[in-house]
């Protein structure tokens, strides 16, 4: 079972990996300090071909993946696991779903300008966390999504349980304030995910 965060950009700025890593490292380490963990972590990235799983030549100055034949793999140095990032093209069904949600989802209504811009732009990204990943990856994939959203004036969204659906879509500045904060969600599953992650991280159990 996997959980995902989608990033819906509202401009055509394509950030470089270096920009994403720097901002995500800041978000992750700020969260760790907030829960009393004085440990500075650093995210890293590699790029792979989807069909062959072979690594691709790239530099961190390159733009984040913008084709459907590649994916980026973000990890934390010396810790097992990671999160993969995919480029997705929007299609007519995607637009129809959002137009329906704009009538029923309060958070979508608050971000309708961004959502409609994203539909017109025609693409988005997806960060995936597979089951069994360590707590630091649960934290990191959310903060990576927040970083990419921040750099593209976009929003973060999930409808598969990655976080409280009633709080999404959300802008980066809101997301980083309440992601993995158990006191800020009424969703029992999300509350447990957050509490479990905090427990592991505070006990230095990163794997």
Domain boundaries, the chain: 2-202
Name residues whose C-beta falls within 8 Å of residue 185's C-beta, 6 or more positions apart in sequence: 163, 164, 167, 178, 191, 194
**CA distance linking residue 26 with residue 30, whole number of Å:** 6
C-alpha of 179 from chain center:
11
Q: What is the pLDDT of residues 47-100, one digit of tens each?
A: 999 999 999 999 999 999 999 999 999 999 888 899 999 999 999 999 999 999
pLDDT of residue 205: 64
For residue 207, is pLDDT > 60? no
For residue 17, is pLDDT > 60? yes
pLDDT of residue 108: 97
**Tokens at residue 83, please?**
């999160």
Q: What is the pLDDT of residues 129-174, one digit of tens each?
A: 999 999 999 999 999 999 999 999 999 999 999 999 999 999 999 9
For residue 6, is pLDDT > 90? yes
Q: What is the pLDDT of residues 92-132, one digit of tens each?
A: 999 999 999 999 999 999 999 999 999 999 999 999 999 99
pLDDT of residue 78: 80
């Amino acid at each position: 079972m996997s959980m995902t965060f989608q990033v819906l950009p509202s401009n055509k700025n394509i950030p470089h990996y270096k920009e994403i890593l720097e901002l995500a490292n800041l978000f992750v380490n700020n969260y760790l300090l907030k829960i009393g963990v004085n440990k500075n972590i650093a995210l890293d990235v590699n790029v792979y071909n989807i069909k062959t799983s072979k690594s691709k030549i790239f530099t961190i100055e390159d733009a984040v993946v913008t084709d459907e034949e590649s994916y980026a793999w973000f990890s934390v140095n010396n810790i097992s696991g990671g999160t993969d990032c995919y480029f997705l093209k929007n299609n007519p069904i995607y637009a129809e779903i959002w137009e329906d949600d704009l009538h029923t989802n309060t958070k979508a209504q608050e971000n309708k300008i961004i959502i409609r811009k994203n539909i017109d732009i025609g693409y988005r990204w997806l960060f995936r966390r597979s089951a069994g990943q360590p707590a630091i990856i649960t934290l990191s994939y959310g903060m990576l999504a927040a970083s990419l959203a921040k750099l593209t004036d976009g929003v973060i969204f999930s409808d598969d349980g990655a976080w409280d659906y009633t709080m999404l879509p959300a802008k980066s500045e809101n997301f980083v304030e309440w992601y993995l904060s158990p006191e800020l969600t009424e969703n029992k599953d999300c509350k447990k995910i957050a509490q479990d992650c905090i427990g592991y991280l505070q006990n230095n159990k990163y794997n």
